[in-house]
Structure 1
Amino acid sequence: MPRKFIKRFLPDHQTIKRNRALKIFGTVLHEPNLWHLNRRSARGAFGIGLFFAFWPVPFQMWLSAATAIPFRANLPLSVATVWITNPFTMPPIFYAAYKVGTTVLGSEPTHFEFQFSWQWVVESISTIGPAFVVGCAICSVVAGIIGYFGLNMVWCFSVKKAWEARRQARAKRNAQ
């Protein structure tokens, strides 16, 4: 079942409650439904996490946590899913988002070379910025929807498979 698989990778809820960055949420983090892992909370958390993973901002985890709380999605899964965009995967993912943006806007992709400077960032906002932001918005919505419904389908499939295996095992025991 996905529950066992997902639980192996999630941090302990006590560890997250002690996290200084999440202290801004106060006692809301003590709500037990935010830590319970079931199909409803997992699919919501996965959708929320993938939605915010494509936002090019440094505080994606906070946004994901702040959205997971009112939707009663699993908080650790929501925050952990954001890390799909990590320092290693960010360049290809954001480049793909830029390409989506240029395609949707019908603009010609401009050649650029990344430079680690504030001046480059300011200059890039006017040249590649619009296509990048549009591409990130589209990828964000699409990934969130696919993540939500995709995890729901995987969860249902694995539950049906587990029930079928139990049924077959029971029939085998009864036949003996």
Structure 2
Amino acid sequence: MFRIREPTDMPRRLLQRYLPHPETLRRQRSLRFMSHWIGNPALWVLSRRSVANAFLVGLFCALLPIPFQMASAALGAWALRANLPLSVALVWITNPLTMPLIFYANYRLGAWLLEAPARQAPDGLSTRWIADQMLDILPALALGSLVAAVACGLTGSLVIRLLWRWQVVRSWRRRAARRRHKRRGGPPEVGEP
């Protein structure tokens, strides 16, 4: 009548729907040199800990103004035993469309923390202007990015852990309600699952 699932089935099934399969990535020509690493089963586990650590690593790397963010996220996923594809995918929060806004916000945060006046972006923002101003804005950008990366990474990890726990508790309550109704022999009451 009712299929009893493990309490953490729901979050796991939702994530598995969107994440690539390890074999798909191993077959890609550009990733062959990493195939032994990509195939490590520990990096593909979907548990509360591995997903929360993936959010920690992915959000942290996404908010840092560094090159090779995806490689940094992959290395962080390996070090923390986080879910590899999720860690790397979260780096794309800072994409070419969002990067200027995020890094400008990080710069403003850093300027505020350093109690320094923040420079206003010119109407015609160009790479030349950024290169000319880099030495002046770099300390504020670095500090603001580091603070934002730590705060967002820790917050993301905590939120995932709490949401996962809430889902497990909800699933256990539903199972208990089904067992009670099965023992009574009647249909579930109105408002109960």
Fold shared, TM-score > 0.5 on shorter chain: yes
Q: Which residue identity does 1:80 align to in structure 2?
A: A
Does 1:75 find its partner at 2:87?
no
Determine which of 101, 125, 129 is the counterpart of 2:134.
125
Determine which of 81, 90, 115 is the counterpart of 2:125.
115
Partner of 2:180: 171
Q: Mapping of 1:21-170 within 5 angstroms?
A: 22-23=31-32, 25-113=34-122, 115-117=125-127, 119-170=128-179
Residues in 2 aligned to 1:14 and 1:116: alpha-carbon distance in whole angstroms = 42
CA offsets per residue over residues 135-173 of structure 1, 9 Å max, x none? 111101111111111111111111111111111111111
Q: Once the 2 structures are TM-superposed, how far is the Cα of residue 26 of structure 1 from its aligned partner? A: 5.0
Residues in 2 aligned to 1:24 and 1:109: alpha-carbon distance in whole angstroms = 44
After superposition, the Cα gap between the structure-2 partners of 1:18 and 1:139, relative to the gap in structure 1 and judged at 3 Å, is farther
Q: Which residue identity does 2:102 align to in structure 1?
A: I
Corresponding residue pairs, total: 175
Give ranges in structure 1 of 5+ residues lacking alignment. Answer: none
TM-score by length of 2: 0.82
Residues in 1 aligned to 2:67 and 2:32: alpha-carbon distance in whole angstroms = 18
Report if aligned partners of 2:56, 2:154 keep a CA contact under 8 Å in 1. Answer: yes
Greater C-alpha Rg: 2
Residues in 1 aligned to 2:133 and 2:29: alpha-carbon distance in whole angstroms = 34
Q: Which residue identity does 1:37 align to in structure 2?
A: L
Partner of 2:17: 8
Residues in 2 aligned to 1:15 and 1:120: alpha-carbon distance in whole angstroms = 42
Residues in 2 aligned to 1:15 and 1:106: alpha-carbon distance in whole angstroms = 49
CA RMSD of aligned residues (A): 1.8
Q: Which has the higher helix share?
A: 1
Q: Bigger CA drift: 163-172 or 124-133?
A: 124-133
TM-score by length of 1: 0.90
Q: Which residue identity does 1:51 align to in structure 2?
A: F
Residues in 2 aligned to 1:172 and 1:141: alpha-carbon distance in whole angstroms = 47
Residues in 2 aligned to 1:65 and 1:20: alpha-carbon distance in whole angstroms = 18
